Chains A and B, each alone.
Chain A
Amino acid sequence: GNSVTQMEGPVTLSEEAFLTINCTYTATGYPSLFWYVQYPGEGLQLLLKATKADDKGSNKGFEATYRKETTSFHLEKGSVQVSDSAVYFCALGNSGTYKYIFGTGTRLKVLA
């Protein structure tokens, strides 16, 4: 079956540090991959997406590349800010189904 595995947190970084949050998946067919961000006490917001292999999703300085050969979709940002502190979720969606598979989330804390 389909599954998503995220690195466990929390991840604590200093401001302007480089961020990587790992996400790997198993899936049949050709899934779409997503990163969502959740700020404290709020719902999730779509951060970026990639719908086919080798696509790169990007938004607000965050990037992730859909790598079929390594079944990965790692989230990266070159220089994090305190305002990036949140929980990040990797998710997988497969055509023909309306259901997502979410990872367990990775908490990021950025220190000034």
Chain B
Amino acid sequence: DGGITQSPKYLFRKEGQNVTLSCEQNLNHDAMYWYRQDPGQGLRLIYYSQIVNDFQKGDIAEGYSVSREKKESFPLTVTSAQKNPTAFYLCASSIDPTNYGYTFGSGTRLTVV
């Protein structure tokens, strides 16, 4: 069964540490996305990638970094420069977002302790 897998589901980080969230898809989708969701709020775009080895900043890229070395994988690193990293992070992929929409992972809840 094809899908998109995020891991871990829950993640705890100490202040000042970098942490990497995993996102893997076996849908053969070209485009991948990272969104941040805060309680009771909508989704805000962090980074997106349309093809391998290429990615663009979204609306709230500061304090985050990504890589896209393989089509299947789009890891997100939350750096110590991100001042308020506690949030729910969602990864998504799409073959053609205008006509087919996104497929989302089940999310990673990051808590800074």
Contact = CB atoms under 8 A, between A and B. Distances in A.
A103 B106 CA distance: 19
Interface string A42-62: 111110010100000000000
B35 to A, nearest CB: 8
Contacts of A97: 98
Interface residues of B, number: 23
A32 B94 CA distance: 14
Contact of A102 (B31, B43, B94, B105): B43
A45 B104 contact: yes
A105 B42 contact: yes
Contacts of A104: 41-42
A64 B92 CA distance: 23
Given A32-B99, A34-B101, A104-B41, A42 B48 contact: no
B106 A42 contact: yes
A98 B50 contact: yes
A98 B41 contact: no
B58 interface: yes
Interface stretch (A66-74, A75-83, A87-95): A87-95
Interface residues of A, number: 25
A46 B101 contact: yes
Nearest to A103: B42
Contacts of A105: 41-42
Most buried by A among B41, B42, B106: B42
**For the complex of A and B, 8 pairs with smallest distance between CB atoms:** A43-B104, A104-B42, A46-B101, A44-B104, A93-B98, A102-B43, A43-B106, A32-B98
Given A43-B92, A44-B102, A45-B104, 14 more contacts: A31-B98, A32-B98, A34-B101, A42-B107, A43-B104, A44-B43, A44-B92, A44-B104, A93-B97, A94-B98, A98-B97, A99-B45, A99-B58, A102-B42
Interface of B: 6, 31, 41-43, 45, 48, 50, 58, 90, 92, 94, 97-99, 101-107, 109
